[in-house]
Amino acid sequence: MKTRNLFFKTAILVAAITMVGCTNDDAVQGDKKDGGNGAATKVTFISEDVLPTRANSPASRTFLTHAIGKGATPYWSTGDKIWAKDMRGNWQESSEGKLNKDKTRGLFSIIGSFKNDCEIHYTGANSASGTEVTISSDQKQEKPNDFTHAGTSGDCGSAIASGNGNQLKFRLKHKASYLCFQPRTSNKYVKNSRLFKIEVISEDEIAGTYDFANGTLSPSPKFGGSKKITLTLDGRDGFPVTNSQADLSVNGSYIVIAPGQHSLTIRYWLRNKKDIPFPYGGPALEGTVTKTVKVNCETGMIYDITANLDPKDYSSKYYMWDARNDQDYWKGKENYQPAINGQSNSFYYPRSVTDSRWYNEKAFSAGGAERSCINCPNVNELSWYITGGNPHWDNEELWTVMGHIYVGGMWFKKKNKINSFSSNNSSDGNNYTTKDISCNILNHNVPTGRPSRIDDYFFLPALGSYDNGTLSGIGTYGAYWTSTPTPMNGNPTVATRGAYYLYFYPVEGHMGCADVYGGLNRYKGMRLWTAE
């Protein structure tokens, strides 16, 4: 993430009765209504611009153009108005500005009496108050690298006028903050997708209606506060993400945000109409790539936020329970490995104890895993993840495996965020690593969605499993080994034994289930994981 000043062209606004030698683009003469001290006068405020330099303070105008590494240039927008505080302390609204052809200068008129050092506010497009600013929680952008929505999204500024009589001028300084998103990818599925929405979620309020009476946004909203800003892109099909390097012309996207130190979760929403693997139906696969960032948003500053939107790619390795290290289910036979749900290979998967990929046959009484599953959580730890880990089924986060893109998985709290987490005892007080009874702990009330404070959690994708060489469950359920065998052992002559594993899946579209499961299952190909 890079930080850039908003290096604006300086806008000097002058109240004038007579401007000798000025063209219509340069000035509009004042129209005196009545005389005497404090008499109401039609005052024309005239903006003039100066070439920007990096030494300039941030200054006026209501839509912005931005170049990476070169700050931003502001312009007036059609319909812009300003507010000025008159000699009686009342805020007076100007007429709509008359803009020159390229919108670098504006002419504004206000009926009133104004003095030296009067306050000037810009409170956003369509504002109805000189003392309130609304930073929208629902912002929209129609074209890449187009920040013409700044004024309607919450841009604002203030100044102190100087001069005598009707000869007043001021330099407006921006008081909001701004984010510029610059997504990129090298993933073919993302390149086949369109970026149609960006959600910015904060631990504190970043939008709402703020008090602006003193020319600075209040620390928190007066009302309508929101911890989320949603930027809708295009409104129809979104922006492409075909670039492998940051390119504003392809998908540069902007929001106005309240100043402050923010811990942000940024969710980039993608829609893919070309690559829809089983089990998904419908016209498109939609999902998110999520990033987190901490940023100190200062007033009048724009922040470049780059993001690689390659979804996390997971390995193709599945194991029988505690098979030998590096002897995964398809070791040496990768060319025959089924890669999508329902595919099967009945010959090249491990089928007997003589195969080096075969599971560990040790009995429950002989202790836990000692090879590939040795670093997996034990059954006691698993119980804590299920009952104390606040699991959430997520049907939105995108990920890839074996050349295909999917959504679906479960969030769990990290172990250092779970009260009383223990490896020696389960959440019901038993030690199922030595107790010769089966553990059956489940959470059948798992909500769908994403938990708050996402940094306290880790994500496990629904990677399914192999059963006798057939792949099933990718995008539908997750099956992850523990390091603990179960007391259940089958007939040794058919070599079937059990081990505990984590099993999770969605239920009825709005709930989920996370289960400590055990059975005669060591022969299945499942995933390894470590306790986070």
What is the predicted pLDDT for the residue at 265? 92
More reliable by pLDDT, 39 or 287: 287
What is the structure's pLDDT at 529?
97
Give CA–CA dist 316/527, Å, rounded: 9
Note the pLDDT of residue 501: 96
> What pLDDT, on the 0 to 100 scale, is given for residue 106?
67
Amino acid found at 128:
A
What span, in angstroms and rounded, lies between the C-alpha atoms of 414 and 391?
Answer: 11
Mean pLDDT, to the nearest integer, of 44-56?
Answer: 37
Where are any strands of DSSP class E within 382-441?
392-401, 404-413
- pLDDT over 90 for what percent of the chain? 62
**Res. 375: pLDDT tops 90:** yes
Q: For residue 463, what pLDDT is reported? A: 97
In this structure, the number of other CB atoms found within 10 A of the CB of residue 224 comes to 14
Which band of pLDDT confidence, cut at 50, 70 and 90, is reported for residue 523? very high
Entry field: residues in the chain = 532
Q: How far is CA 481 from CA 148, 194, 245, 325, 526, in A?
A: 52, 36, 39, 14, 7
> How does pLDDT run across 97-125, given as a tens digit for each residue?
777 777 766 677 788 888 888 898 999 98
The yes-or-no verdict on residue 218 having pLDDT over 90 is yes
Start-end of H helices in 157-298:
188-191, 248-251
Given this model, what pLDDT does residue 97 score? 76
Helix (H, G, I), strand (E, B) or coil at 158: strand
Q: Tell me the backbone φ, ψ of residue 417, rounded to 5 degrees.
A: -105, 0
Q: What integer is the mean pLDDT of 139-168?
A: 87
For residues 488 and 432, what is the distance between their CA atoms, to the nearest angstrom? 13
Report pLDDT digits (tens) over 425-481.
Answer: 999 999 999 998 889 899 988 999 998 888 899 999 999 999 999 999 999 999 999
* Domains of the chain by residue range: 40-310, 313-517
Closest C-alpha to 130, from 81, 169, 176:
81
The pLDDT of residue 284 is 84
Q: What is the pLDDT of residue 497?
A: 85
DSSP conformation class of 387 = H
The CB density around residue 108, as the number of other CB atoms within 10 Å, is 25
pLDDT digits (tens, 9 = 90+) for 326-344: 999 999 999 999 999 999 9
- Is the model's pLDDT at 268 over the cut of 90? yes
Q: What is the pLDDT of residue 245?
A: 96
Higher pLDDT, 480 or 95: 480
Cα–Cα distance for residue pair 161/171, rounded to 1 Å: 8
Average pLDDT over residues 48-68: 45
Q: Which two tokens stand for residue 75?
A: 């312009």
pLDDT of residue 69: 65
Task: Identify the CA nearest to 240 among candidates 48, 248, 37.
Answer: 248
Higher-pLDDT residue of 67 and 260 is: 260
Reported as a pLDDT band with limits 50, 70 and 90, residue 490 is low
Q: What is the rounded average pLDDT of the residues 131-157? A: 95
pLDDT of residue 48: 42
Mean pLDDT of 142-165: 88
Query: Across the chain, what does the average pLDDT equal?
Result: 84
Closest CA to 466 of 447, 479, 454, 481: 479
Q: Residue 56: what pLDDT?
A: 32
